[in-house]
Amino acid sequence: MRNIHAPILYAEDNLMDIELTKEAYASLQLQNPLEIVRDGRELMDFLHCEGAYADRYPDMPILILLDNKMPRITGLEVLKQLKSHPKFKHIPVVMMTSSSLDSDIRRGYELGANAYVMKAVDFDELQECLADILQFWVKRNYTIHL
């Protein structure tokens, strides 16, 4: 019961990163829509179908890509909220960090992150990385729908 309409939710505050990721995503030709939220609050609004997302089709995302570093509520804080929420804790969360030497990685796993990837500086590598993530988490992995 793979849902090709289920969105992939990408939480990222940086506009240029969003654009690069959208470009990389477009080249992969997946059917699932890539939805962008700009911070933790928007992400929660999206999941709860509230605020700007009150009228969206209430599909649960198949995957959440979460930037480690966001203004106000950090990525880790959002992760904690997600993983302690009975309705959302099963959604796979792939954390995106700028540095493989990040000291937050340990904390991220403790909070229940499903994977950590580094945002590569090389665009081709970034694209490859995104392809790998989606190949596994969207095409191979099974999740449950509560």
Q: Which residues bind other proteins (CB under 8 A)?
A: 14, 16-17, 20, 23, 69, 97-103, 119-124, 126
The radius of gyration of the chain's CA atoms, rounded to the nearest angstrom, is 14
Nearer to other proteins by Cβ, of 100 and 141: the residue is 100
* Parallel, antiparallel or unpaired: strands 115-118 and 63-67: unpaired
| Type of residue numbered 58 | P
For residues 39 and 23, what is the distance between their CA atoms, to the nearest angstrom?
A: 20
Nearer to other proteins by Cβ, of 16 and 144: the residue is 16
Nearer to other proteins by Cβ, of 47 and 76: the residue is 76
Nearer to other proteins by Cβ, of 27 and 141: the residue is 27
CB of 99 to other proteins, least distance (A): 4
| Type of residue numbered 72 | R
Contacts of 10 (CB under 8 A, 6+ apart): 18, 21, 34, 35, 36, 37, 64, 65
CB of 24 to other proteins, least distance (A): 8
CB of 33 to other proteins, least distance (A): 21
